[in-house]
Amino acid sequence: MATLEIHDLHVSVEAENGPREILKGVDLTVKQGETHAIMGPNGSGKSTLAYSLAGHPKYTITGGTVTLDGEDVLEMSVDERARAGVFLAMQYPVEVPGVSVSNFLRTSATAVRGEAPKLRTWVKEVKEAMARLQMDPAFAERNVNEGFSGGEKKRHEILQLELLKPKIAILDETDSGLDVDALRVVSEGVNRVRESGEVGTLLITHYTRILRYIKPDFVHVFANGRVVESGGAELADKLEAEGYEAYVKGGVTA
Amino acid sequence: MADNTPAGSTTDGAIQVGGPKQPIDARVSAPASYDVADFPVPHGREEEWRFTPLERLRGLHDGTAVDKAVDGGGVKVEVSAPEGVTVETVGRDDARLGKAGKPVDRVAAQAFSSFETASVVSVPKDTVLTEPVRIGVHGVGGVAFGHQVIEIGAFSEAVVVIDHTGDATLAANVEYLVGDGAKLTVVSVQDWDDTAVHAAQHTALVGRDATFKSVIVTLGGDLVRLHPRVVYTGPGGEAELYGLYFTDNGQHQEHRLLVDHDTPHCRSNVVYKGALQGKDAHAVWIGDVLIRAAAEGTDTYELNRNLVLTDGARVDSVPNLEIETGEIVGAGHASATGRFDDEQLFYLMARGIPADEARRLVVRGFFAELVQQIGIPDLEERLIAKIEAELEASLA
């Protein structure tokens, strides 16, 4: 069973007046089949956690460990992490001029699976996955994220999640900027992947709204660069009612 | 008219083929002429020269570049053509030279005033070639002035590849005379050594119901400045102008197009795409389309896209559309320059794609639609390999 273990993770970014510590000792274990919601106020370091796990060069790991099934994730390059089974659905997916969605998906699947998918079954696989996410087939010929609406970008992220079948899926504010219909479609996509029982999900969100569609097994409150409280789904109800007030007062929220 | 212009081909009265009307570009500093003396030496602030580093033209613009072909320098031209095609080397007085139109800038006029022999490739009428005509222009160092005429007769179909390699300082004019109802595809490859300088005017005279398709591929050279131009001689003419350039470290690659719609019911479609990388890479794209009052029913579109792969590169992209009649089918243009940056690299790598492959993916995808236009498999493969080699060489 795949397990992502984060232990005492410290992460800094370069700021104008020297390095600034954002993550201050994160401990978290995510197992295959589990869904963990990470909730917290703006600036608490949630997205930093997501990007640090994916290996974004902007973030410097200053302490702690991250392992996937015992393998040192922090030693891996960005592409190695993805091939090892870590997937990050980004809050702000990047436009890639010149690369069509279909070309991108196939190249990515080839890299992650270690061999090129057979063309005939691949075309069918993509078509069906797109239909489930209510994406127009013409979408495949557009350039990656170029001119996509907010909802299209998120559907495209979840399309990749469905096709790449990672061991650990990190969803960074996938719900932000979505209307109710898009949120439902995207959530259903995430749930299909979860129902396979083969993915551990780290659902990062500011709002409790998405938790109506995606039921977490665990909820963690993130504040000031670390997990400050953990509980079951009921913790989200408390946050819904009371907000983050209790966790940020006196703390540096940056 | 200066003494050194060839008789029979230079005066307006001597031009027979439908009497090509010279495009009048409002923004040039001197009217078109066969004679270099009619153009002042450019100083670099003129509209048509303002992007070009004159000092790197090696004297092609001011008369100091002299053809030393007698010493064995210059360019070697080799033509291989399928049966039915006539290939000739002719003197300056050949009546077919200069028919497509006059040189529009001083370097082109210098070439016209200075060349000693010209190549004329003729395809008779009603002839459909199944193999391309291949013209190799290989630079062996030194200055050269070139002139080529590709003439294809009515209702003929031909593909011509002009392949520039080696090192030279070359100024040239290439004329395409496309007969009524004929189809001519020309692929001009600038695969020069990185030391070469190449300035050329390509002028196409497109006959009634004829189709002219041009694919310009510029990869090499220290400075390449091409001037593809299209003039129509009758209604129903169609021009498709495609271009691909890969501009790297220190290269200046400039493409200045003009489509002169002065004839009714003609079409033109322009797509030029460039990728740039490395310090001081400079690409210039000028797309001028004129739709004159007489050109009712014109349908035209032009597009330029640039992909900047690394910091330090510069693109100047200037589409320009002048419309004198509203009775047209369509007219439009678009220009966009985008960057391939670290965030894009991160995004692709976060999907398992290694860095070098990510870059290849982007560049290959960007150029794919243009490479496909060439339609000659061995050439397409060579050019893709070349682009990928350049990509890797400057990343190393």
Residues in chain A with CB shorter than 8 Å from the CB of B362 are: 96-99
- Would you say residue B5 has pLDDT above 60? no
The answer to whether position A55 is within a domain reads yes
Q: Is the pLDDT of residue B6 over 60?
A: no
Mean pLDDT over each residue of chain B, to the nearest integer: 90
A52 belongs to a structural domain: yes
What's the CATH code of the domain at A31? 3.40.50.300
Residue from B295, B354, B359, B357 nearest B321 by CA: B295
Q: Is residue B5 part of a domain?
A: no
Domain assignment of residue A242, yes or no:
yes
* A224 dihedral zone (left: phi>0; alpha: psi -120 to 50; beta): left
Residue B332 lies in a domain: yes
Element (H, E) at B284: strand B282-291
Domain range holding B350? 12-395
Closest CB from B350, B353, B365 relative to A98? B365
Q: What is the separation of C-alpha B193 from the centre of its chain, rounded to a whole number of angstroms? A: 18
Is residue B301 classed as helix, strand or coil in its secondary structure?
strand
Distance CA B396, CA B391 (A): 9
Give the pLDDT of residue B2. Answer: 38
Domain assignment of residue B270, yes or no:
yes
Distance, first Cα to last Cα, chain A:
37
In the predicted structure, residue B35 carries a pLDDT above the cut 50? yes
Residues of A in contact with B357 (CB under 8 A): 107, 111
CA-closest candidate to residue A216, choices A197, A231, A227, A226: A231
Q: How far is CA A218 from CA A27, A38, A211, A235, B28, in A?
A: 14, 9, 11, 9, 71
Q: State how far the Cα of A228 lies from the Cα of B46, in Å rounded to an integer.
A: 67
Could you say which residues from 252 to 311 on chain B have a Cβ atom under 8 Å away from some Cβ of chain A? 305, 307
Select the residue of B344, B351, B365 nearest A82 (Cβ to Cβ).
Answer: B351
pLDDT tens per residue, range B272-331: 999 999 889 999 999 999 999 999 999 999 999 999 988 899 999 999 999 999 999 999
Note whether residue A135 is domain-resident. Answer: no
Tell me if B1 is assigned to some domain. Answer: no
**Beta-carbon separation of B350 and A79 below 8 A:** yes
Q: Total structural domains in chain A?
A: 1
Taking the C-alpha atoms of residue A166 and residue B356, their distance in angstroms, rounded to an integer, is 23
A76-134 pLDDT per residue, tens: 999 999 999 999 999 999 998 778 999 999 999 999 999 999 999 999 999 999 999 99
| CA diameter of chain A | 59
Number of residue pairs across A and B with CB atoms under 8 Å?
83
In a domain, residue A254? The reply is: no
Q: How confident is the model at residue A216 (pLDDT cuts 50, 70, 90)?
A: very high
Which positions in chain A touch B351 (Cβ < 8 Å)? 82, 104, 108, 111-112, 160, 164
Structural domain total, chain B: 1
Establish if A102 belongs to a structural domain.
Answer: no
Q: Does A98 reach chain B within 8 Å, measured CB to CB?
A: yes
Nearest to A97 among B348, B350, B366 (CB): B366
Segment B135-162 shows an average pLDDT of 96
Cα B318–chain centre separation: 16
Confidence of residue B18 (pLDDT cuts 50, 70, 90): very low
In chain B, whose CA is at the least distance from the CA of A57?
Answer: B346
User: What band does B356 get if pLDDT is binned at 50, 70 and 90?
Assistant: confident
pLDDT band for position B16 (cuts 50, 70, 90): very low
Domain encompassing residue A67: 3-88+148-248
Binned at pLDDT 50, 70 and 90, residue B339 comes out as confident
Q: Does B366 touch chain A (CB under 8 A)?
A: yes
The DSSP output letter for B202 is E
B390 found inside a domain: yes
Any domain includes A54? yes
The per-residue pLDDT for A254 is 42
